[in-house]
């Protein structure tokens, strides 16, 4: 099946000649409702903490030799649903060809820390180009993503809550050097 689907896709992509193959991958749709779209945090007073979630992203096969022009989060947003305490929360995105690799991969995109306080929900926009250092990962048919939430608490009470992803679309532009 994969071979047939791949062949059909490759025929189509080959048909575009010198054009590029562009994939808009709605990563959030794979995470929604699975629990992986939410990162719970509990940061003790006067400290910092991290929490993360993993997601596998399936891309069309057959582009192993392709040159990845760019990878960009075009649509991304999250809600920081704070329950108590005052602090900051930021996100970092890591990508690798397997889940373990995301632990040692360089950060592909850092979302600046956002202030949270009390029982309130703060929306956060996520967008930007991913680091060229991880571009080659997106030529593979399986990509693992790890989202790390890093929180700081300079107050005297714990900062608790959860970060809930509400949208995440990654745009991958390939020069179709098909395998």
In the complex, the residues that contact other proteins under the rule CB under 8 A are 1, 4-5, 7, 10-26, 29-30, 32, 58-60, 62, 65, 175, 177-179
CB 45 to other proteins: min, Å = 40
Q: Which is nearer to other proteins, 44 or 56 (CB)?
A: 56
**10 and 62 Cβ atoms separated by less than 8 Å:** yes
Q: Which is nearer to other proteins, 80 or 170 (CB)?
A: 170
Neighbouring C-alpha atoms within 13 Å toward the C-beta of 163: 31
Q: Which is nearer to other proteins, 127 or 152 (CB)?
A: 127
CB 53 to other proteins: min, Å = 16
Q: Which is nearer to other proteins, 116 or 168 (CB)?
A: 168
**153 and 48 Cβ atoms separated by less than 8 Å:** yes
CB 157 to other proteins: min, Å = 39
Q: Tokens for 94, please give them.
A: 């890591």
CB 33 to other proteins: min, Å = 9
Q: Which is nearer to other proteins, 24 or 121 (CB)?
A: 24
CA distance linking residue 162 with residue 113, whole number of Å? 14
Beta strands in the chain (DSSP E): 20-26, 38-43, 47-58, 67-84, 86-96, 107-117, 120-125, 128-129, 142-153, 159-175
Please choose, from the candidates 162, 166, 83, the residue with its C-alpha nearest in 3D space to the C-alpha of residue 124.
166
CB 167 to other proteins: min, Å = 11
* Radius of gyration of the chain from its Cα atoms, rounded to whole angstroms: 18
């Amino acid at each position: 099946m994969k071979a047939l689907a791949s062949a059909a896709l490759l025929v189509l992509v080959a048909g575009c000649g010198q054009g590029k193959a562009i994939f808009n991958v709605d990563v959030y749709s794979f995470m929604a409702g699975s629990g992986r779209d939410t990162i719970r945090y509990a940061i003790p007073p006067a400290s910092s903490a991290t929490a993360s979630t993993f997601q596998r992203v399936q891309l069309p096969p057959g582009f192993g030799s392709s040159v990845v022009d760019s990878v960009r989060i075009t649509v991304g947003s999250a809600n920081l649903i704070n329950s108590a305490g005052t602090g900051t929360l930021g996100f970092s995105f890591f990508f690798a060809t397997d889940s373990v690799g995301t632990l040692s991969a360089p950060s592909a995109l850092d979302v600046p820390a956002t202030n949270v306080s009390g029982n309130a929900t703060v929306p956060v926009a996520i967008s930007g180009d991913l680091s060229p250092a991880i571009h080659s990962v997106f030529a593979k048919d399986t990509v693992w993503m790890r989202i790390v939430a890093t929180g700081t608490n300079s107050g005297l009470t714990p900062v608790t809550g959860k970060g809930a992803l509400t949208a995440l679309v990654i745009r991958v532009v390939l020069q179709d050097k098909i395998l």
